[in-house]
Amino acid sequence: MRKRAVPARSRVTVRRAGANLVRSSLAAALRSGREALVDIEGQLEDLLAALREPGRAIDAGAPERLRGAAEQAGDALASLGAVAALGTMSSRH
């Protein structure tokens, strides 16, 4: 049996119009989430260092900064969920 060659622009290789938007939105959401998690990690390291040193006082603004970073991480995760839903919707069409 002889097999046909797949054309250069078959249905498999043609990208959907919204794919680039979903991909760039996903990249932005991942970047934002990574930055928020790195921020949280740094703040937790600072708090642990302060707790390990008996004479060192914990910065009074640390809890509020940590709360803000956690909120940013939550927003980033919500963004990822929204982008994932968008990607699922665009792949159905």
Reported as a single tens digit per residue, the pLDDT across 6-48 is 666 655 655 556 667 677 888 888 888 889 899 999 999 998 9
Reported as a single tens digit per residue, the pLDDT across 38-85 is 999 999 999 899 889 988 888 899 889 999 989 988 988 888 888 777
Q: Which residues contact 73 (CB under 8 A, 6 or more apart)?
A: 33, 36, 37, 40
Q: Would the pTM count as exceeding 0.85? A: no
Helix, strand or coil for residue 12? coil
Q: Would you mind telling me the total number of residues written for the chain in this entry?
A: 93
Predicted confidence at residue 16, as pLDDT, reads 59
